[in-house]
Structure 1
Amino acid sequence: MAIRVGIDLTASALDRAGKSNHSGDEELIEWAKIHTPTDEVVVPYDTLESPPEDIEATKKLLDKLAVLKLNGGLGTTMGCTGPKSVIEVRNGFTFLDLIVIQIESLNKKYGSNVPLLLMNSFNTHEDTLKIVEKYTNSSIEIHTFNQSQYPRVVADEFLPWPSKGKTDKDGWYPPGHGDIFPSLMNSGKLDLLLSQGKEYVFIANSDNLGAIVDMKILNHLIHKQNEYCMEVTPKTLADVKGGTLISYEGRVQLLEIAQVPDAHVNEFKSIEKFKIFNTNNLWVNLKAIKRLVEADALKMEIIPNPKEVDGVKVLQLETAAGAAIRFFDHAIGINVPRSRFLPVKATSDLQLVQSDLYTLVDGFVTRNSARTNPSNPSIELGPEFKKVGNFLGRFKSIPSIVELDSLKVYGDVWFGSGIVLKGEVTITAKPGVKLEIPDGAVIENKVHFLKRHTF
């Protein structure tokens, strides 16, 4: 396997990265220089012009586009093995199935040729190669490539772990999605796309069900010649640690919590001052990527990620693709509807997308119009529900939650079929007690069930 080691592993760089969670004082932002971006920099989605409705004109736009999904993550946090993108989301379809169906639908409707690229890590690459064989007869081009792998660094010695004898997989790590730009180039896929007349790549996490091709955004970028676009969306209390866009020294820039001086962390978390956060849906001009990678101009901030592996404290030095925004010309953000940010990071998210809150048509997960509250219900499930297998086993069917505001479930709780949840609901099973909620139960507003038979 080819290995590209591009992160600076000098002692001084490692010392800066290891000083604190803030990556060293050298990378801290000067707070007084931060300005709120104008609508020209972070464009409101509803001000975008509608693209032409003509099928041929739409085809011309789509033929300039490639879709790239970040596919390097494993489903271990949800109790699964293999790539996270093969977790079943709804109606037996996996994340990857839905992505393929979406692009097939677009290409069929407009006669276009939008290819799909999957950036794998060494953790997911071999499994993904086997998985994509099921799409052999698909009408879309599917390309896979591997991102770089870097050696983990022994934290107290600042030495690459493989040099200390850790030569198996655990001695290495994929260095974050900021690696996408050089890996796209090194794999040969960038030149392939350019040879096919592609101009933009839409990059998104494979587990974000809201990250679908948007013609209004593509049309805007092509006509305004923006080299880079980050989709941002209004921040809620659940997103206070997410990166945000700022104007800084005349350029648009991503501000991450790790760059914020301690005295201003609470201010950063405020949803009054910093109202938007990065969805990690990115649209990037392919020629600009090639220009900047060839010039070695993408000097993104290093994010130290401390881990403990086999009892050894190690550092992973990572970069984020969003941090590259300041290197591109005419870079913008677009403040998109919250519907474009629907990640599935835990089984509580899975409950949302499997419920009657959403419907599935042509691979697109669409919100139920019967839901009047623009926000999704907050769902907090206990550790008994953490793994996908356990989660699915505890529901005969996913309850109706169209009228739910919040749900908290603690203990050994099992749900029957046809249950309806409304308002604010907390369900708690006493330690050692199995609580079974019967078929057809309607539970509304702060009801606590502590014993076996309470209905």
Structure 2
Amino acid sequence: MAAVAAVATSKFDRLKAEAARLADQMSETAAPVEWDKIKAPTSEVVVPYDFLEEVSDEEAKSLLSKLAVLKLNGGLGTTMGCTGPKSVIVVRNDLTFLDLIVKQIEVLNSKYGADVPLILMNSFNTHDDTAESRYPRVVVDDFVPLPNKGRNDKAAWYPPGHFDVFPALVNSGVLDKLIAEGREILFISNGDNLGATVDLKILKHMIKNKNGYCMEVTDKTLADVKGGTLISYEGRVQLLEIAQVPDDKVDEFKSINKFKIFNTNNLWANAAEIKRHVEADDLKVEIIPNPKEVDGIKVLQLEGAAGAAIRFFDNAIGVNVPRSRFLPVKACSDLLLVQSDLYTLEDGTLIRNPAREEPSLPGAELGPEFKKVADFLKRFKSIPSIVDLQSLKVVGNAFFGENVVLKGKVVIQAEKGETLIIPDGEVIENKLVTAGPTYADI
């Protein structure tokens, strides 16, 4: 028992030291950007997707032999009422996020006779064997790690986020194995982004042009105004997050006219460069304090983003990809869209329904009654047809029957104490629906 205790203490001390290192790094990188030095990236720095070369079947197998795919799988589905990993939420046809990811890789390998490996980056929340992938929350008042104050349960710790992916790859020995296999490029993306499939054109461009790093960006809409964007800054491409923006420049940052693109967190990085930077300990990404509260104690989580590492890599670029490559599921309103007839499922990949004439997705605003996945599912006998929907807002205790069709702008509104049931087969177009149900034109 003494040996076990000694090992545990050693690990704990190391994690506390890591928290202190992050605090120091936060101080080092805390200087705000100088606004007048920000420049819009050129088409050479952020390459339009249409500029990328096509890839023949003959090229594909050779390219794929140099690739490994890593999915960031550390997130819990807490915002959707789940206690386990979001990746095990069922998306379509009884298949989870993880099922679809595995299917995509299997189909890719089968089609091209390749053997692309799939790696999951877990956290202590999503895999017991990666319990060391955690950092202690620190108390705001004295900056002492919360576990030092007698708290050593899960509430005292937090998963470090995806900025930890690079040192984790090196420290685990996984990166050395990949390099030994000839894997030159890692494609890293969020496990809940169903649009983040392997793109051979991006892979070819990176290898051909010896790009050390590539971030996929896409055109910003009004729903994306807080998303990080790529800029040219002091001669290098850099990720600019809203937390780094001076208060008097936030509105300008949110403008879709000046900052037209945002980070999808689909990232491609050269394996050898990752190893070099981690071993040199020079990936000093910006550390952003995220305030939380644990049993009345105000604490900080010191977080960073893997995308912020872009400025340290040689010949780093962005690629402005189609919106279809950014399809995250962060809430049950997103789950409604991906489960609907807006998409079909083909070889583990969601394909946009060509019957939808609008290029953008419909807006969906579901009330708190739909927040948890279990409650969301019990409120739909079947997911409505929304291929012709512009926007949906649901307020109150509402339930949907089978084969409901929603078109145009639809508001479903149940007052407090009422239950509103949409009958089977109902077609609702540009209507406000209230208890009864009764219908009024919008």
Question: TM-score with structure 1 length normalisation?
Answer: 0.91
Residue aligned with 1:181, SS:
helix
Q: Which moved more, 1:166-175 or 1:277-286?
A: 166-175
Give the secondary-structure state (helix, strand or coil) at the position aligned to 1:9. Answer: helix
Alignment-derived partner of residue 114 in structure 1: 116
Contact 1:120 1:146 in 2 (8 A): no
1:33 aligns with 2:37: yes
| Deviation at residue 163 of structure 1 after TM alignment | 1.1
Residue 53 of structure 2 aligns with an amino acid whose one-letter code is E
One-letter amino acid of the structure 2 residue matched with residue 50 of structure 1: E
Q: How does 1:231-380 map to 2 (within 5 A)?
A: 231-380=216-365
Note the alpha carbon deviations across 1:196-224, whole angstroms, 9 max, x for none: 11000000000000000001110110101
The residue aligned with 2:174 is: 189
Report the CA distance between 1:372 and its aligned residue: 1.1
Is the 2:221–2:256 Cα contact (8 Å) retained in structure 1?
yes
d(CA) in 2 for partners of 1:243, 1:297: 22
Task: Name the CA distance, whole Å, in 2 between partners of 1:169 and 1:272.
Answer: 43
Out of 82, 85, 89, the position equivalent to 2:84 is: 82
Q: CA deviation at 1:378?
A: 0.5
- Report the counterpart of residue 175 of structure 1 in structure 2: 160
Distance 1:15 1:250, change over 3 A: closer
Amino acid at match of 2:43: D
2:352 and 2:366 map into 1 onto residues whose CA distance is 22
Question: Partner of 1:449: helix, strand, or coil?
Answer: strand
Corresponding residue of 1:450: 434
Percent identical: 68
- Alignment partner, residue 124 of structure 1: 126
1:93 alignment counterpart: 95
- Partner SS, residue 165 of structure 2: helix
Paired AA for residue 84 in structure 1 = K
Deviation at 1:450, TM superposition (A): 2.1
| Distance in 1 (alpha carbons) for counterparts of 2:411 and 2:293 | 35
Write the deviation string for residues 76-106 of structure 1: whole angstroms up to 9, x where unpaired.
1111121110000111000000000000001
Q: Secondary structure at the match of 2:385?
A: coil
Change (3 A) 1:229 1:12: closer
For the structure 1 residues 361 and 125, does the alpha-carbon distance in structure 2 shift closer, same or farther, using more than 3 Å as the test?
Answer: same
Is the 2:158–2:301 Cα contact (8 Å) retained in structure 1? yes
Answer yes or no: is 1:406 the counterpart of 2:408. no
What CA distance in whole angstroms lies between the structure 1 residues aligned with 2:170 and 2:329? 29
Q: Deviations over 1:363-384 (max 9, x none)?
A: 0111101111110000000001
- Residue deviations 1:303-328 (CA, integer Å, cap 9, x gap): 10110112211111111001000000
Q: Secondary structure at the match of 1:223?
A: helix
Gapped runs of 5+ residues in structure 1? 18-22, 130-144
2-structure distance, mates of 1:341, 1:81: 25
Whether the 8 Å contact between 1:301 and 1:319 is mirrored in structure 2 is yes
Distance 1:231 1:38, change over 3 A: same
Post-superposition shift, 1:292? 0.5
Letter aligned with residue 161 of structure 2: G
Cα displacement string for residues 114-172 of structure 1 (whole angstroms, at most 9, x for unaligned residues): 0010011111113xx7xxxxxxxxxxxxxxx6673211101111101111111222211
1:379-394 equivalences under 5 Å are 379-394=364-379
* Distance of 1:36 and 1:336 partners within structure 2: 17
CA deviation after TM superposition for structure 1 residue 12, in Å? 7.6
Partners in 1 of 2:349 and 2:133 — Cα distance? Answer: 31
The yes-or-no answer on 1:42 pairing with 2:46 is yes
Q: 2:421 matched to 1:419?
A: no
Separation (CA, whole Å) in 2 of partners of 1:147 and 1:339: 35
Distance 1:288 1:147, change over 3 A: farther
Give the whole-Å Cα distance in 2 for the aligned partners of 1:44 and 1:11.
Answer: 35
Other-structure match for 1:159: 144
CA distance in 1, matches of 2:132, 2:409: 44
8 Å contact 1:400–1:421 — kept in the other structure? yes
User: What is the rounded CA distance, in whole Å, between the counterparts of 2:153 and 2:341 in structure 1?
Assistant: 45
Q: How many residues align?
A: 428
Q: Aligned partners of 2:419, 2:406: CA distance in 1, in Å? A: 20
Runs of 4+ more than 4 Å apart: 1-4, 14-17
**How many angstroms apart in 2 are the aligned matches of 1:16 and 1:58?**
45
Distance in 2 separating the partners of 1:15 and 1:403:
47
Matched residue type, 1:47: F
| Separation of aligned partners in 1, 2:53 and 2:241 | 31
Q: Is the 8 A contact 1:147 1:174 kept in 2?
A: no
1:440 is aligned to 425
Q: How far apart are 1:9 and its partner, in Å?
A: 1.9
Q: Matches of 1:146 and 1:353 in 2, distance apart?
A: 32
Partner of 2:69: helix, strand, or coil?
strand
Q: Alignment partner of 1:430: what SS?
A: coil
Q: Secondary structure at the match of 1:356?
A: coil
Residues of 2 paired with 1:65 and 1:381: CA distance?
39
CA contact 1:433–1:452 (8 Å) conserved in 2: no
Tell me how far 1:53 sits from its aligned partner. Answer: 2.9
Instruction: State how far apart, in whole Å, the 2-side matches of 1:15 and 1:296 are.
Output: 15
Secondary structure at the aligned position of 1:192 is classed as helix
CA displacement, residues 223-255 of structure 1 (integer Å, 9 cap, x when unaligned):
011010000000011100000000000000000
Q: What secondary structure does 2:330 align onto?
A: coil
Change (3 A) 1:45 1:147: farther
